[in-house]
Amino acid sequence: MKMVVIKRMIHKGESRLMLNFKYDPELVNLAKQVEGVQWSNSDKCWHVPDRNDMLGRLFTLFRGVAFLDYSDMKSKAPLIPTWAKKERVKPGELTGVLVAEEEEAIRSFRRWMYHCRYSRSTMRTYTASLITFLKFIKPRVALEVKEEDIVYFVTEYILRNGMSYAYQNQVLSALKLFYGEVYKTKLDIEKLNRPRREHRLPNVLGGGEVESILKAPLNLKHRTMLAMIYGCGLRRGELLNLESSNVDRERKLLIIKQAKGMKDRVVPLSDKMLARIREYREAYKPEVWLFKGQGKGKKYSEASLQEVFKQALKKSGIDKPATLHWLRHSFATHLLESGTDLRYIQELLGHKSSKTTEIYTHVSIRSIQNIRSPYDELDL
């Protein structure tokens, strides 16, 4: 039987599959039927696009006519994708445009996530990650993606732009789901070496700093929102998703529904916090959402809440790069320092694992301040 040897080659900076065989009119005619085939005068061979589906197409085309030897490809692969960019591409500078098939594939992926009850936040995050990746790899289209394309994206876009571990892991998770569910392609994401998890300590504000921030806003609604984030240990989204009915004045509880991980939980409301909420409700008379936004029936926006905190931070004179989430970290740490059992703090924060809550023991000063440094023992 006739033989065709398949090897990888770089032609004009692009990865191609070289078809080596002795001249034979029948084989030439078959090779010419491959989409994207070209003849190389310098290498004296036909070559075709290096795509995931190409080997399968070649086996179908040459079946019964020639034996295909692709052993050289098993140990060799192009180190740099064909679309590799020489200059660093910064966020916001991506110019690639998705084709209609890719847009439909993303819509299909969103429908699948919605069916599986993924949170809106996760759906939004995964979709944005996918669009960024697909724009970056242009002119290659989604169906042609290989593992080395993802490696190159991580190296040349995520790492070169100093993006976080969390974002990198997020992109890999989105790609794994997208290709597995939409294209039914098993990209071996685990071989791409997910980054090691960062072990960062939570950022905590002192009691005096928290007091200054909570007193800073003159607007009653703004003061109430910041007070509840700290006083109840809420995440930003949990506060904004609160409905008026979630405040149980009789039992002195705040009911948080379908929070992170689709979990419900309750947080106790002190008399002081209830008084603050009652004052706010009498002034603003919220209907559905506890904190309504500008439009009718709309809840308060994340961007507006971020701006409220930013202005409070500026007015209080605190020069730390604090975020809203620092108030939640401070709530947990201050509870621990006041002697609250770690198990109760875990319940209040809605943590699935106690290990997540234990990180606050590393920033609590209750025990650390009692440690005497050996430096203090020196006669200096």
Measure the CA angle with vertex 285, ends 281 and 288; round to 5°.
Answer: 100
260 is catalytic: yes
Compute the Cα dihedral for 342, 343, 345, 346 and give only its sign.
Answer: positive
Short-list 94, 73, 77, 65, CA closest to 2: 65
157 is catalytic: no
Question: Distances in Å between the alpha carbon of 283 and those of 119, 241, 280?
Answer: 33, 20, 5
d(CA 127, CA 134): 11
Of 236, 292, 328, 329, the catalytic one is: 328
320 is catalytic: no
d(CA 325, CA 332): 11
Of 11, 176, 235, 265, the catalytic one is: 235
Of 7, 140, 260, 265, the catalytic one is: 260
Of 351, 362, 372, 375, the catalytic one is: 351
325 is catalytic: yes
d(CA 330, CA 333): 5
Short-list 36, 60, 45, 42, CA closest to 6: 45
Compute the Cα dihedral for 296, 299, 305, 306 and give only its sign.
Answer: negative
Question: Angle, to 10 degrees, between the axis of helix 220-232 and the axis of helix 325-337?
Answer: 50
236 is catalytic: no
328 is catalytic: yes
Question: Distances in Å between the alpha carbon of 303 and those of 6, 93, 300, 306?
Answer: 55, 23, 9, 5
Of 8, 57, 110, 325, the catalytic one is: 325
Structure letter (DSSP) for residue 140: S
Torsion of CA 113, 114, 118, 119, to 10 degrees: 130
**Cβ 63 vs Cβ 1: under 8 Å:** no
Catalytically active residues are: 235, 260, 325, 328, 351, 360
